Amino acid sequence: MFVHSVFFWLHHPESQDDHTALRAGLESLKAVTEISTAYIGTPAETRRPVIDHTYDFALTLVFADKAAHDVYQTHPIHLAFVDKCAHLWERVKIYDAVG
């Protein structure tokens, strides 16, 4: 299993239009058949010192293996998402894990 977790910070987090546009872009990624499981969310209302809740969106994708992840990275749907939505975020942080 290969887990790809991506966190996005918007340039304009107060903009509902930007939230809507990024969510739509993230939802489009679910069409990539190499993805086994996809989760899109926003920060939970948990507030403890160890929790980072400063991001605007979280994307977690599960792949069967690294090879499936590598296909996703160059997949036309993923590339179109980056092209269409990159202007919306000021920061992205990625954590990849294997299991």
Between residues 60 and 99, which one has the greater pLDDT? 60
Q: What is the predicted pLDDT for the residue at 54?
A: 96
Mean pLDDT of 82-87: 98
* 20-63 confidence digits (pLDDT tens): 999 999 999 999 999 999 999 999 999 999 999 999 999 999 99
Q: What is the predicted pLDDT for the residue at 8?
A: 98
CATH of the domain at 66: 3.30.70.100
> What is the pTM (predicted TM-score) of this model?
0.94
* Residue 46 Cα distances to 6, 42, 53, 94, angstroms: 19, 12, 8, 21
Cβ neighbours around 49 below 10 Å, total: 4
Chain length of the chain: 99
Domains in the chain, number: 1
Q: What is the predicted pLDDT for the residue at 84?
A: 98
Residue 92 belongs to domain spanning = 2-45+53-98
Task: Give the type of residue at 5.
Answer: S
